Amino acid sequence: METTTWPVLTVLTFLPLIGVVFLLLIRGDEDVVSRNARNVALWVSGFTFLLSLILLINFDPTYAGYQFVDKGEWLAADGIGFMMGVDGISMPFIVLSAFLTPLAILASWQSVQHRVREYMIAFLALETLMIGTFAALDLVVFYLFFEAVLIPMFIIIGIWGGARRVYSAFKFFLYTLAGSVLMLVAILVMYNTAGTTNIPQLTDFAFDPDVQFWLFLAFFASFAVKMPMWPVHTWLPDAHVEAPTAGSMILAGVLLKMGGYGFLRFSLPMFPDASVTFAPMIFVLSIIAIIYTSLVALAQQDMKKLIAYSSVAHMGFVTIGIFSLNIQGVAGAMFQMISHGLISAALFFAVGVVYDRLHTRDIDAYGGVADAMPRYAVFFMIMMLGSVGLPGTTGFVGEFLVMVGAWQANILVAIFTATGIVLGATYMLWLYRRVVFGRAEKDEILTLEPLNQREIFIFVPLTILVIWYGIFPSGILEIMDVSIMTVLDQMDLASMELSGNSQIAITGIGE
């Protein structure tokens, strides 16, 4: 483990909270407060992003352990300490969170007009919690951040959401909570078995395979809801439809990834035997998710709901990649998560852009948007193609690597996964055709305002990244390569130690 002289990770994590303090101190009438709140939130989150970039530049991708480790005393009487650090698996997510938050704040610059201060507080708090979730190296600290995310998200959906926001916020909250509390029981069991909640130590601890079975299921309950996997995905379309645009961007961009991150950080290295045992079940669930939700997406009339269902399908690729348990599959899953974080955030923003103008998400209300908003049509197209997995975009790299990984694990799985790609192309292209192409006949479409500078400013960095890393994926892959190998090595070692079963020595390693 490498430690630094100053607690850069802790500072990065809690920097947005300092912004919250500033926001609370703003005085004046409502307009002044709103304007200042927006500016403070943007500056603080922008600065956090810069700090995360400094972290990224100083990050050593060849080092297998945790870097920038901060340690502190916390509950000494119970053997629970405060610890943070990053490796190649958490690093990309931290940068992604820090990158998407300022964009989300910009995205709600005009669409949120009431209780702006509270809104910005919720987003900055959310940023702290997201970064903290990915940086925590103690199970209790992780759980605190992971679970506390519910609070700002519940508020964001419940207060600034659409017509059915209360129903959606409750569903989101209770679904996620129900999954998480089972993980809490598992954490307590691990704590009482291993005597520590330190993640590196727990990774080295060999849990009894029978215990692993239950622990895996409990963690699975939490991460499967968060991902979300079929059949516990039903909260997601509701939450997305009702959430404000920025809420959807963060929800799809970062929060869904917490599930995948959890599988990689906890399930695989800590419960290797159970991971192997449950891999077929996860394959089946993921394939159902990919095919079923793609078909459901095809039938949607609501643009946001369609993209929400497509998220479930894309997350199906992620779980298949992770549980193919080889380097290509896991790297593909990681890449797919980052890629989906960028693309889905952009797609939800694209919906938000036209929603702000027409106040409807009904696909039939559109058609011929390209006539009035040509630039918008271009950005939307790039993102749509990225979602479909067109070569040259990040979507392709992720899906391709997952397919390669799945092929090695099980050919049948790979074949079913491929059908998902076809279906994905169908619903996305069809959505694009119905919204953007065709003749604009209605007056309100013809008079749509073109993209303003702020909106272009949000689209441009997302588009550049999607294409840049689509062509040069090694920029991201290099960061996580060593850490993924470490996870797979640990799994392999742990499995052999426990059961002497070397058959599960993963095919991908060493190739």
Partner 1 sequence: MMDLLNLQPATAEIFLALASLGLVLVSAFVAPQEKASKLVRRLTLISFAIAIFLTIYNGSTPAYAFNGQFFTSSFMVYMKVIILLGAMGILLMAKRELKQDQIDRPELPLLMLLSVVGMMLMVSANDIIVLYMGLELQSLPLYVIAAIRRESLRSSEAGLKYFLLGALSSGLLLYGASLLYGFTGHTSYDGIKIALENDVSPGAVIGMVFLISGLAFKISAAPFHMWTPDVYEGSPTIVTAFFAVVPKLAAMTLFLRFTYGVLADASDSWQQIVMIIAVLSMLIGAGGAIMQTDIKRLMAYSSIAHMGYALVGVAAASDLGIGAVMLYMTIYVISSIGVFAIILSLKQEGRPLTRIEDLAGFSKTHPVYALAMMVLMFSMAGIPPMGGFFGKWYVFSAAIASGHVMLAIIGVLASVIGAFYYIRIIKVMYVDDQVISIDSHIPRSNTMIALGAAVVMAVFLFGLGILREQITAAVPFVVFVAG
Amino acid at 195: G
Find the shortest distance in angstroms from Cβ 78 to partner 1.
Answer: 6
Find the shortest distance in angstroms from Cβ 168 to partner 1.
Answer: 12
Candidate segments 84-92, 175-183, 291-299, 346-354, binder of partner 1 by CB under 8 A: 175-183
Among 66, 173, 223, 317, binds partner 1 (CB under 8 A): 173
Between residue 363 and residue 422, which ones bind partner 1 under the rule CB under 8 A?
A: none
Between residue 471 and residue 510, which ones bind partner 1 under the rule CB under 8 A?
A: none
**Polymer length in residues for the chain:** 511
CB 495 within 8 A of CB 486: no
Residue closer to partner 1, measured from CB, 91 or 150: 150
Find the shortest distance in angstroms from Cβ 224 to partner 1.
Answer: 16
Q: Within a 13 Å sphere around the CA of 332, how many CA atoms are in the beta-carbon half?
A: 30
Residue closer to partner 1, measured from CB, 132 or 508: 132
- 178 touching partner 1, by CB under 8 A: yes
Between residue 74 and residue 133, which ones bind partner 1 under the rule CB under 8 A?
A: 74-78
Find the shortest distance in angstroms from Cβ 203 to partner 1.
Answer: 21
Residue closer to partner 1, measured from CB, 64 or 182: 182
Residue closer to partner 1, measured from CB, 157 or 504: 157
- 73 touching partner 1, by CB under 8 A: yes
- 29 touching partner 1, by CB under 8 A: no
Residue closer to partner 1, measured from CB, 175 or 292: 175
Candidate segments 71-79, 100-108, 237-245, 267-275, binder of partner 1 by CB under 8 A: 71-79
The sign of the dihedral angle between the CA atoms of 498, 503, 504, 510 is positive
> Helices 8-25 and 30-58: crossing angle, nearest 10°?
170
Tokens for 117? 């201060």
CB 293 within 8 A of CB 355: no
Find the shortest distance in angstroms from Cβ 259 to partner 1.
Answer: 18
Contact map string, positions 141 to 160, toward partner 1, x by CB under 8 A: --xx--xx-xx--xx--xx-
DSSP 15-84: HHHHHHHHHHH--S-HHHHHHHHHHHHHHHHHHHHHHHHHHHHH--TT--S-EEEEEEEEEGGGTEEEEE
Q: How far from chain centre, in Å, is Cα 186?
A: 23
The sign of the dihedral angle between the CA atoms of 332, 333, 334, 339 is positive
Give the N- to C-terminal CA distance of the chain in Å, as an integer. 28
Residue with structure tokens 């991908």?
508
Among 174, 412, 415, 460, binds partner 1 (CB under 8 A): 174
- 56 touching partner 1, by CB under 8 A: no
- 169 touching partner 1, by CB under 8 A: yes
What distances in angstroms separate CA 220 from CA 185, 239, 406, one per listed residue?
Answer: 12, 21, 20
Contact residues for 453 (Cβ-Cβ < 8 A; gap 6+)? none
The number of residues that bind partner 1 (CB under 8 A) is 33
Find the shortest distance in angstroms from Cβ 129 to partner 1.
Answer: 9
Contact map string, positions 437 to 476, toward partner 1, x by CB under 8 A: ----------------------------------------
Cα dihedral 448→454→456→460 (10° resolution): -160
Residue closer to partner 1, measured from CB, 192 or 503: 192
Nearest to 259 by CA among 343, 349, 340: 340
Between residue 189 and residue 208, which ones bind partner 1 under the rule CB under 8 A?
A: 189, 191-192
Per-residue burial over 296-312, b = 16 or more CB atoms within 10 Å of its CB, e = otherwise: bbbebebbbbbbbbbbb
Find the shortest distance in angstroms from Cβ 51 to partner 1.
Answer: 22
Residue closer to partner 1, measured from CB, 215 or 414: 215
Residues that bind partner 1 (CB under 8 A): 73-78, 140, 143-144, 147-148, 150-151, 154-155, 158-159, 165-166, 169-170, 173-174, 177-178, 181-182, 184-185, 188-189, 191-192
